[in-house]
Amino acid sequence: MTMNASETDITPAQYGVGARFTLSVYADEYVSIILDALAAGDSRGLTIETGDISTYVSGPEQRIYELLLEVISHAAQTGVHLSASILFSRGCPGELQCELPEGVTAIGAHIDTAEPVGVRARAHWSLYPLGVSDTHAHMPIIYSAISEAKSQGIYKGSDHYATRLDGDLSNVLALVMSAWAQTGADVQHVVSHVTISINSPSEIND
Amino acid sequence: MTMNASETDITPAQYGVGARFTLSVYADEYVSIILDALAAGDSRGLTIETGDISTYVSGPEQRIYELLLEVISHAAQTGVHLSASILFSRGCPGELQCELPEGVTAIGAHIDTAEPVGVRARAHWSLYPLGVSDTHAHMPIIYSAISEAKSQGIYKGSDHYATRLDGDLSNVLALVMSAWAQTGADVQHVVSHVTISINSPSEIND
């Protein structure tokens, strides 16, 4: 059963749609930079809980995308080196057991890519479809995402355990979240992790 | 088939055993702190590749544990706030396709916990068995790890998408890596992610 979230009565919260991210700022002034960045995000329609290790955000996929883009690009505009480690999850509310309404199998979603924000993002990205014995079944979605990344010029190859992306933050985030949300149309429980590096002094123009 | 790595002729590299980590240092002097920390790790028996986003390390599980403990605790001893985002993977060399010798299904491993290093680590931890339709099959291993964490006093509850740990870095890393390596005895392809926060100004003593 392939459905988009808008075709169901299930809320993102019920379906366990959300992200957990850690924004790391490599500067003495990190406290104010992180707090300012978090304050710059439009939290409407989202549940946000900031803790000592990471920040949890739940809500519609598109709003999560917009919030992450606002928060990370705001911090990036200080010019300091930073990294963002983000976990996306869908299809499993709670980490030890899933409690879904009966009859729901898989719900996908679509992400509209925002305009470029002028922030170069280099990333290592991994996608994990869970609870399926044939992990190659989602490969067409991965290949499609990689093909899209190549056409945008942001695919930079495969490293151990992760795919390397390099491009405007809006495109990199959209690609990662789209692959995650589209895999979700075929697989109920899908997790993706990405580590994004911005303003690194070791940036090279390859 | 349950095997430990020592019972096979398969090398960790052939089995895709390794980690990819990003050490984030929240201080202006991050370059020297990160380089000093990486230099403090004993790389014998390991393959280490440091890139602009993260550092890849491959080799026997115990040696990976020791290296991560040395590198992170060295950085922690500067007293600055830092976070470490670590991906562990086993059972799948290469991220787009697995190429294993025939007949290999699952190989576990054991981690010997080192002495405490005097560094408090707060962590969000997730474990992903891949390619299995029954993701609850590994729950006894998770429950056993959580039970062990409770007996050590380092289990602090379950948050969205992650289990919260809090304890000496040597115990936290050993718990995460042991659960990953022991799940590996039943499931070939196992990935685990952990984000560790150290020297945070928002630390509370709960």
CATH code for the domain in which residue B137 is found: 3.30.70.930
Q: What confidence tens digit (pLDDT) does each residue in A150-179 have?
A: 998 999 998 889 999 999 999 999 999 999
Per-residue confidence band for B38, with pLDDT thresholds at 50, 70 and 90: very high
Does the beta-carbon distance from B52 to A202 stay under 8 Å? Answer: yes
Would residue B54 count as lying in a domain?
yes
Interface list for B 89-128 with A (CB within 8 A): 89, 94-96, 122-124, 126, 128
Would residue A149 count as lying in a domain?
yes
Nearest CA in chain B to A56: B160
What is the predicted ipTM?
0.92
Residue B110 burial (CB < 10 Å; 0-12/13-18/19+)? middle
Residue A22 distance to chain B (closest CA, Å): 8
Would residue B175 count as lying in a domain?
yes
* pLDDT > 60? residue B103: yes
Does the beta-carbon distance from A124 to B56 stay under 8 Å? Answer: no
B193 and chain A in contact, CB less than 8 A: yes
B157 and chain A in contact, CB less than 8 A: no
Please tell me the predicted confidence (pLDDT) of residue B205. 42
Would residue B117 count as lying in a domain?
yes
Average pLDDT over residues B114-125: 97
Does the beta-carbon distance from A142 to B22 stay under 8 Å? Answer: no
Please tell me the predicted confidence (pLDDT) of residue A206. 41
Q: Which two tokens stand for residue A138?
A: 């989602």
DSSP type of residue A41: S
Residue B204 distance to chain A (closest CA, Å): 9
Hey, what amino acid is at A36?
A: D
pTM: 0.93
Per-residue confidence band for A205, with pLDDT thresholds at 50, 70 and 90: very low
Residue A19 distance to chain B (closest CA, Å): 8
**B137-160: burial string, b at 16+ Cβ within 10 Å, e else:** ebeebbeebbebbeebebbbeebb
B14 and chain A in contact, CB less than 8 A: no
Average pLDDT over residues A70-83: 98
Domain count, chain B: 1
Does the beta-carbon distance from A87 to B189 stay under 8 Å? Answer: no
Would residue A17 count as lying in a domain?
yes
Q: Name the residue with higher pLDDT: B95 or B117.
A: B117
Please tell me the predicted confidence (pLDDT) of residue B202. 74
Q: What confidence tens digit (pLDDT) does each residue in A86-123 have?
A: 999 998 865 455 666 677 788 999 999 999 999 999 99
Please tell me the predicted confidence (pLDDT) of residue A147. 87
Would residue A167 count as lying in a domain?
yes
Does the beta-carbon distance from B160 to A131 stay under 8 Å? Answer: no
* pLDDT > 70? residue A13: yes
Please tell me the predicted confidence (pLDDT) of residue B204. 45
How far apart CA A47 and CA A27 sit, in angstroms, is 28
| Residue contacts between A and B (CB atoms, under 8 Å) | 165
SS3 A124: strand
Residue B194 distance to chain A (closest CA, Å): 10
**What is the domain extent for residue A182?**
12-94+114-198
Q: Name the residue with higher pLDDT: A189 or B196.
A: B196
* pLDDT > 50? residue B108: yes
Q: What confidence tens digit (pLDDT) does each residue in A17-68 have?
A: 999 999 999 999 999 999 999 999 999 999 999 999 999 999 999 999 999 9
Average pLDDT over residues B75-83: 97
Nearest CA in chain A to B89: A161
Residues in chain A: 206
Does the beta-carbon distance from B30 to A81 stay under 8 Å? Answer: yes
Please tell me the predicted confidence (pLDDT) of residue B206. 41
When the pLDDT of each residue in chain B is averaged and rounded to a whole number, the result is 88
Helical H segments across A20-158, by residue range: 30-40, 61-76, 139-152
When the pLDDT of each residue in chain A is averaged and rounded to a whole number, the result is 88
Does the beta-carbon distance from A53 to B193 stay under 8 Å? Answer: no
